[in-house]
Chains A and B, each alone.
Chain A
Amino acid sequence: MPKLIKNGQLVDDDARILVLDETQAPEELTLAAGPVFVPFAVWQAHKGQLSGRAGLGVWLDSHEDVAELVPDLDSISAVALNFPKFTDGRAYSSAALLRTRYGFTGEIRAIGDVMRDQFFFMQRCGFDTLQPKAGKYSDAQLEEALASLKDFSTPYQAAVDQPEPLFRRAARAA
């Protein structure tokens, strides 16, 4: 089973990330059983049936506004935020908003172009689950990549993982 990082540990995960191709209308979709992340458009089209389904998550692309998901957050256990390219940093703001402004306590998963070099930033912004693309890292490499979560031991700023900035957390010598 493929592995990903959840709360700083390697875990098995076989959730599918459902991607619509251009010809597919979200309304026409039938979902096979099993854990799956559906695109935001599919969620909107099938909210009624999908609500409360076990193992269901919704994924948003980087241009999609997390605010639109807010009325539904109580019925979703996991949100995945896509990085179409790892240099597209919008999902950092989306994750931070989900955690701080919208109070989402479920899983926030980073998907798409996810590299170990972003892990530290992702975790700081509220991602608890990090899923590099299939084949990006071997299990051994992913194990090794856990070290990137600890690239910096004491960051300066307040963020989701450390809600206070260093100047409030520590007594710094003048």
Chain B
Amino acid sequence: MYRYDTYDQKIVDERVAQFREQTRRYLAGELTDDEFRPLRLQNGLYIQRHAPMLRVAVPYGLLASRQVRQLAHIARTYDKGYAHITTRQNVQFNWPALEAVPEILAGLASVEMHAIQTSGACIRNITSDPFAGVAGDEHIDPRPWCEVLRQWSTFHPEFAFLPRKFKIAVNGAAEDRAVIQCHDIGLELKRDAAGEIGFRVLVGGGMGRTPIIGEEISDFVPWQHIITYCEAILRVYNRYGRRDNLYKARIKILVKSLGIAEFKRQVEEEWVFGKNGPNTLTEAEVARVAGHFTTPAYASLPADDAGYVSQRAANPAFAAWTRRNVLAHKVPGYAVVVLSLKNPARAPGDVTAEQLDLVADWADAHSFGEVRATHEQNLVLADVRQSELFAVWEKARAAGLATPTFGLLTDLICCPGGDFCALANAKSIPIANAIQARFDDLDYLYDIGDIELNISGCMNSCGHHHVGHIGILGVDKNGEEWYQVSLGGSQGNHTSIGKVIGRSFAAAEMPGVIAKIIDVYLAQRQAGERFIETVRRTGLEPFKLGVYGDAAVKERKQNA
């Protein structure tokens, strides 16, 4: 993975000093709340319901074991002993004291980490495929390009105060695992007819209050020009994006109001001036960065380890875990392990300091010292030998990190919601845990199969409810917490925005509502059909009928 040189380290160290001074000025009354807010946000520091929340950047989800240990140290020393993996592959601490944040940042800097631009109206942490470099369907490794873009976007002087936040995601595999269609800029690595690397560029996607799927602004930008192309997009957005209304300030609204053709015309008119300029990438720079993402020293192994085969045959619980949480690796004899953070006893995505320390140890022992964070709020050991899977499973099981439900109903995405977040309209964690408690029968979960359930506590959509096969959105009705259910959303190559099925529900009703939706699916599904495929085939009607009943649906139609 990328290691800092003296330049990278200096920038992060100088950031610590800068923020230490800003915090001092705030505490001394030299900065008002309003002045300090954007400054602290650009360093990932929120003021939440109970305490500040610090969001630490995990660039494109990649962590070294020593970084994981540092996160454990922070959780233990400055927090209540746990951390939270976010839907943008970052790590959040919910309880640090504001006064301690400069020290936390200094600790992060000591392991080449920071909290730069994890919030605020600027270019945010760049996200990518958590299986980059190990997935069989990968054409081009996205990580070097993410790092190149990370450096370009870090403290970009022209784009530090955009109309609104700006998120970039990069994918380089046949299957989109980075939700590129729902980002302000989505980049898909590809090759042209001559074999040259470039990017298909999508723009104006996003979730939030107005979910929109990004549109293609260019089908191929050669790699040399990706920075100047992004700069052209950002400059048009910075100058003409709306600043009068927070809810209409994302680039998606500008793209929609101009139309993609006119937006593209403006971007390409701007690009003329930057293209071939100094920001044009050089082969030397790309080679330098790519040199950090070399193939690990894989052993030459048989495609199927005999011991692994017999362990699976002998131990049904291990076999069940491997069926869900162990994924194919492009190198024979290796596997990708998903360490589930969806233990029903904890908030989805939460991980304790002890668990983090253990994960760091397993990474060193079994996976070349690296860990990945996924936007689906799990951790990944990407390079485990098949012959060591049983050992990893036993350790993970003992640590509560082997919930064998990856990709199933209870492996849900869930924002921190009203328990922590000051923006939330409703709690989301108790809903998640109640659904996990209701669906605690593994055989039943396996029978239901692949399904994505996403929960957001408010319209900001951190829980990605718009692209959940089942989406749950917390809403406020006269000061009470209610939950709206949508169906048919999807991430990946067939990204779609879910549609609301009808009136919202009280928290206590939610597990029953999900059960009714699943019943409809099981009754309607054809052989081999996944949940989302059934919803697409049948439409929402049978589900509405199943959830609201015949009479309610008729009445609604009459009133419509």
Contact = CB atoms under 8 A, between A and B. Distances in A.
Interface of A: 86-90, 92-94, 96, 100-101, 115, 117-118, 120-122, 124-125, 141, 151-159, 163-168, 170, 172-174
B502 interface: no
B279 interface: yes
15 contacts: A86-B35, A86-B38, A87-B161, A88-B161, A90-B238, A92-B159, A121-B155, A122-B157, A141-B30, A152-B11, A156-B152, A157-B152, A166-B7, A167-B282, A172-B288
Contacts of A158: 277-279
Given A158-B278, A164-B278, A121 B38 contact: no
Which 6 A-B residue pairs are closest in the complex by CB-CB distance?
A89-B161, A124-B157, A167-B285, A121-B157, A156-B151, A92-B158
A174 B7 CA distance: 12
Interface in B146-170: 151-152, 154-162
Given A125-B158, A173-B5, A157 B288 contact: no
B49 interface: no
Nearest to B277: A158
B11 A120 contact: no
Nearest to B37: A87
B243 interface: yes
Contacts of B281: 167
Contact of B11 (A93, A96, A155, A173): A155
Q: Does more than half of chain B's interface fall in helix, strand or loop, or is it mixed? A: helix
Given A86-B35, A93-B239, A117-B22, 18 more contacts: A86-B161, A87-B121, A88-B161, A89-B160, A90-B239, A92-B160, A93-B158, A93-B235, A117-B35, A124-B158, A125-B158, A152-B15, A155-B11, A156-B151, A156-B152, A158-B277, A170-B7, A172-B288
B273 interface: yes
A107 B235 CA distance: 22
A174 B288 contact: yes
Contacts of A159: 157-158
Given A152-B11, A154-B11, A174-B291, A165 B279 contact: yes
Contacts of B156: 157
Given A90-B238, A153-B14, A166-B7, A96 B158 contact: yes
From B18, B158, B278, name the one whose CB has the most chain A CB atoms within 10 angstroms.
B158
B197 interface: no
Contacts of B291: 174
Nearest to B291: A174
A159 B159 CA distance: 11
B287 interface: yes
B5 A172 contact: yes
Contacts of B284: 167
A151 B116 CA distance: 14
A125 B152 contact: no
A157 B159 CA distance: 11
Contact of B273 (A101, A115, A173): A101
Interface string B224-237: 00000000000100
B358 interface: no
B18 A151 contact: yes
Contact of A165 (B160, B238, B278): B278
